[in-house]
Chain A
Amino acid sequence: MSLKLLNIRKSFGTILANDDISVEIGQGEIHGLLGENGAGKSTLVNIISGSLTSDSGTISLDGKYLDMSSPSDAIEAGIGILHQEPLVFLPFSIVDNFLAGLPKSRDFDRKLLQDDVRKISQEYGFDLDPNALASNLTVGERQQLEIARLLWMGARVLILDEPTTAISETQRENLFTTIKLLAANGMSVIFVSHKLDEIQSICDRVTVLRKGSLIDTPTLPCPTSELVNLMFGEYTQDIPQNQSVIGENLLVLDGICVKDANSVIEEVHCKFSEGEIIGLAGLEGAGQRILLRGIAGLTKCYRGRIFFKEKEITNQSYKWYMENGFHYLPADREGEGLIQGLTITEHFALAGNQSQTIDWNKAAQLAEDKLREYSIRGTVTSKPEDLSGGNQQRLLLALMPDNLSVLSMEHPTRGLDIESAEWIWKELLERSKNGTTIIFSSSDIDELINFSDRILVCFSGTIIGNLLSKETTPYEIGSLIGGIHS
């Protein structure tokens, strides 16, 4: 028995998320799926589990072609997925969670079902009381609930989508034991992760994706360096690097710790000079975003101190930061950057912040000039939702004050076409020449190496690398991103 993917292809607009992917996964095999953010893992997993339909290509299980248009089709066919955050109904009991989503065709008997839950729990060493409420379970136990449910529904292929992100070390050990047991019982397991050590320790083989293409499917174990190379590619081009004129120490982070509901960064010690460009590397959620917000004064640090021009500014308000030339640009340009429903003129009136009454003619004139200067395709009455991603990013840059000290920016060119990306960097480099310190996050290693003077690597909430981009290699950065010190 095996799951066979043949020539799977899927594109979103102009982006090819899965380019001609073919993999075969045998019975009882634990098959890793490895790649950076944006490599195409999620798309592939969503296609296998019925959430997305591929543009072309086929999926077959035991030689039978599957035609799936929804997750329930997939589970009917025997393919189940455990999501990163287990999708359970929290107010329901475990038994009710089993019943929710049960196909109409299937009869059930509560009593028998309770017995089934106990039987599966016993077999896999789960601690599941059929009548317990799901809301009282830990994330690890919720995963067990989902696995048990999928088994009960008849899954023969189990996809685990980054299952270790939200659970503790012991829970992880338990999960791995379960996975091995499942495989021993004949389950085909697809294990999605970007943690190299996990892939190494549990998978039989691993498929490595990069920018939508399948790079290779090596058998494990193999040298970790090989995996890093497959994941990030070997660096061949010799692109001239940015050479900033580095001035005096402008900003000093003295052991700052910042957190919000979703992420944390701790103990950051760093000095930034005037006009310096610093890239933040790391996997999504490793702490780059919260660090950038902390630097811009949007989120307060709960420990540590920040010095700006040798004065402590740790407890200054966000307003103070803005008035002193700090600026933050988020990755979510529509959700956090621009205001949907306001016209471009209104955006400029808002950012201009002059007198209490607005001179609309002046605001429109300013908007008109900026549109031309930043070559934004749109009119003064356009709204952000009418603009393309590249034009939204240009607009965000156009809205920035002229003299900035520190620009803190997430993913400057994510999702942009090449022309816009080049244009954005031309503008940013110009700003840096005029003395603005730019700190940006990116998941594109080429972008990090080409444009930064220094690269800080974040790994699960700490900075584990501080590299001069002139002296580093993509391999070194890639290893650190994966949490491996060379």
Chain B
Amino acid sequence: MKGFTGPIYSYLAAVLVSMVLVSLLLALFRIPIFETYTLLITGSLGSMTKLGDTLMVSVPLIIASASLVITFKAGLWNIGVEGQIIAGAVAASFIARELQMPTQILLPAMIGAGFLGGAFWGLLVGLLKIRGGVNEIFGGLGLDFVATGLVVYLVIGPWSRKGIASTSGTEPFHENAWFPTVEGFRLSPLAVSVSLLVVLMVIFVFNRTQFGLKLRSIGLNPNSSYRFGIPTSRYILTALVLGGAVAGLAGVTQVASIHHRLVPSISGGYGFLGILVVLLAGYRPFLVIPIAFFFSMIAIGSIQWQLRLGLHSSLGGVFQGTLVLSVVLISAMRLLRQRREKHVKTEE
């Protein structure tokens, strides 16, 4: 399992290839190509409000991706990240609904609860793996469904709005439970700071600590790592708990900074999208930020496609998908070429 690790120009090449492919698709349906791309830029960066929205969306995606870096580097396909985001959101919502506190206390409490909620969900994946021999992909996927079911139950059941049992969400939280925003924007500086802090922490862990080095070595070769005396099971469990905790923070930003209540689709699919981000980043945490931002640009900019060109906004997803495929393609071609060169060398 390896992410994409090419030099920067091959990313640009991939962007170019995917733009060509999407252009072909647009041409097929006689949609003005140039205008489509212009709208993507103006729609996401065109005004301070739009830039703010793009940043706002990038926050949970950056956090979810940072969480995935932790587990991916340890060789764990943590598909359970969606469930961990949800668990964090539910835990934070519980605090927001139950505690009547001033905002200075309530917000840290929500962040702490989300961290623990996600950690608990990650712990379940880890225990299933090391005690039950359940691969983290299956355990995680199963727990994703459990988490989704739990949210739907809460939203239409115990936490439903008075008089209506609707899947549109719970009652909005009291404003004390909202992340503070800058006047006139939906963007919260607190959310942005949390995401940057998380990325910095992940960078620190993997660049400076024994713990991070050991996680990496387990991801690269568990057998040798065990021989080196690393208790592999314990580290795998720790990686999943820590990854879950960070993913839980993404859930906190979703409820406290974006929706201000719990909705059934609270994870926003950022967990799965994060997998693409991390693969593109080649597990390098600092690259997560620009890539997640670019993905958010597509997500926000493509809203304009719907408004102005009458295109379905899912075309944004098509663009993201094409981008990933192009990167994978270019990366594979590069690897093939390297292998061939190496082969030629050994033949000599």
Chain A residues close to B by CB (< 8 Å) = 298, 318-319, 322, 328, 330, 335-342, 346, 349-351, 353-358
Render B192-219 as a binary contact track against A, CB cut-off 8 A, 1 for contact: 0000000000000000111101101100
| In-complex Cβ contact of B210 among A335, A336, A340, A357 (8 A) | A357
* Known pairs A339-B220, A357-B210, A358-B213; A328 contacts B229 (CB<8 A): no
- Cβ of A328: which chain B residues have Cβ within 8 Å of it? 227
* Known pairs A319-B231, A350-B228; A342 contacts B217 (CB<8 A): yes
Q: Which of chain A's residues has its CB closest to B218's CB?
A: A339
- In the complex, the answer to whether A339 meets B210 with C-beta atoms within 8 Å is no
- In the complex, the answer to whether B221 meets A346 with C-beta atoms within 8 Å is no
- In the complex, the answer to whether A350 meets B208 with C-beta atoms within 8 Å is no
- Cβ of A298: which chain B residues have Cβ within 8 Å of it? 226-227
CA distance A234 to B38 in the complex (A): 83
* Known pairs A350-B213, A350-B214; A339 contacts B225 (CB<8 A): yes
CA distance A318 to B233 in the complex (A): 14
CA distance A322 to B211 in the complex (A): 19
Interface centre among A298, A338, A340, A355 (most CB of B within 10 A): A338
- In the complex, the answer to whether B210 meets A353 with C-beta atoms within 8 Å is yes
CA distance A369 to B154 in the complex (A): 61
B338 at the interface (CB under 8 A from A): no
- In the complex, the answer to whether B227 meets A336 with C-beta atoms within 8 Å is yes
- Which 3 A-B residue pairs are closest in the complex by CB-CB distance? A341-B220, A339-B221, A322-B229
B224 at the interface (CB under 8 A from A): yes
- Cβ of A337: which chain B residues have Cβ within 8 Å of it? 224, 227
- In the complex, the answer to whether B210 meets A351 with C-beta atoms within 8 Å is no
- Cβ of B208: which chain A residues have Cβ within 8 Å of it? 357-358
- In the complex, the answer to whether A350 meets B227 with C-beta atoms within 8 Å is no
- In the complex, the answer to whether A336 meets B223 with C-beta atoms within 8 Å is yes
- In the complex, the answer to whether B224 meets A339 with C-beta atoms within 8 Å is yes
- In the complex, the answer to whether B220 meets A349 with C-beta atoms within 8 Å is no
- In the complex, the answer to whether A356 meets B209 with C-beta atoms within 8 Å is yes
CA distance A349 to B223 in the complex (A): 18
- Cβ of B209: which chain A residues have Cβ within 8 Å of it? 356-358
- Cβ of A353: which chain B residues have Cβ within 8 Å of it? 210, 229
CA distance A456 to B228 in the complex (A): 27
- In the complex, the answer to whether B225 meets A346 with C-beta atoms within 8 Å is no
- Cβ of B220: which chain A residues have Cβ within 8 Å of it? 339-342
CA distance A358 to B207 in the complex (A): 8
- Cβ of A322: which chain B residues have Cβ within 8 Å of it? 229
CA distance A330 to B217 in the complex (A): 17
- In the complex, the answer to whether B223 meets A335 with C-beta atoms within 8 Å is yes
Q: Which of chain A's residues has its CB closest to B219's CB?
A: A341
Apart from A328-B227, A350-B217, A351-B228: 20 A-B pairs, beta carbons within 8 A: A298-B226, A319-B229, A319-B231, A335-B224, A336-B224, A336-B227, A337-B227, A338-B224, A339-B217, A339-B221, A340-B221, A342-B216, A346-B216, A350-B214, A350-B230, A353-B229, A354-B210, A356-B210, A357-B208, A358-B208
CA distance A335 to B223 in the complex (A): 7
CA distance A354 to B214 in the complex (A): 13
CA distance A104 to B110 in the complex (A): 67
Q: How far is the CB of A121 from chain B (nearest CB, A)?
A: 40
- Cβ of A339: which chain B residues have Cβ within 8 Å of it? 217, 220-221, 224-225, 228
Render B229-240 as a binary contact track against A, CB cut-off 8 A, 1 for contact: 111000000000
Q: How far is the CB of A14 from chain B (nearest CB, A)?
A: 12
Identify 26 residue pairs between A and B in the complex whose beta-carbon atoms are under 8 Å apart, listed by A's number. A318-B226, A318-B229, A335-B221, A336-B224, A337-B227, A338-B224, A339-B217, A339-B224, A339-B225, A340-B220, A341-B216, A341-B221, A342-B213, A342-B216, A346-B213, A349-B213, A350-B214, A350-B230, A351-B228, A353-B229, A354-B210, A356-B209, A356-B210, A356-B211, A358-B208, A358-B210
Q: How far is the CB of A104 from chain B (nearest CB, A)?
A: 29
- Cβ of B231: which chain A residues have Cβ within 8 Å of it? 319
CA distance A358 to B212 in the complex (A): 10
Q: Which of chain B's residues has its CB closest to A332's CB?
A: B223
Interface centre among B213, B220, B229 (most CB of A within 10 A): B229
- In the complex, the answer to whether A330 meets B228 with C-beta atoms within 8 Å is no
CA distance A358 to B215 in the complex (A): 14
- Cβ of B228: which chain A residues have Cβ within 8 Å of it? 339, 350-351
Q: How far is the CB of A286 from chain B (nearest CB, A)?
A: 22
- Cβ of A355: which chain B residues have Cβ within 8 Å of it? 210
Q: Which of chain A's residues has its CB closest to B224's CB?
A: A339
Q: How far is the CB of A327 from chain B (nearest CB, A)?
A: 9
Q: Which of chain B's residues has its CB closest to A352's CB?
A: B210
Q: Which of chain B's residues has its CB closest to A13's CB?
A: B346
Q: Which of chain B's residues has its CB closest to A346's CB?
A: B213
Q: How far is the CB of B202 from chain A (nearest CB, A)?
A: 15
- Cβ of B230: which chain A residues have Cβ within 8 Å of it? 350
CA distance A356 to B208 in the complex (A): 9
CA distance A401 to B105 in the complex (A): 51
CA distance A338 to B220 in the complex (A): 10
Q: How far is the CB of B338 from chain A (nearest CB, A)?
A: 12
CA distance A353 to B213 in the complex (A): 11
CA distance A339 to B226 in the complex (A): 11
- Cβ of A318: which chain B residues have Cβ within 8 Å of it? 226, 229
CA distance A318 to B230 in the complex (A): 10
| In-complex Cβ contact of B227 among A330, A340, A354 (8 A) | A330
CA distance A337 to B220 in the complex (A): 12
Q: How far is the CB of A348 from chain B (nearest CB, A)?
A: 11
- Cβ of A319: which chain B residues have Cβ within 8 Å of it? 229, 231
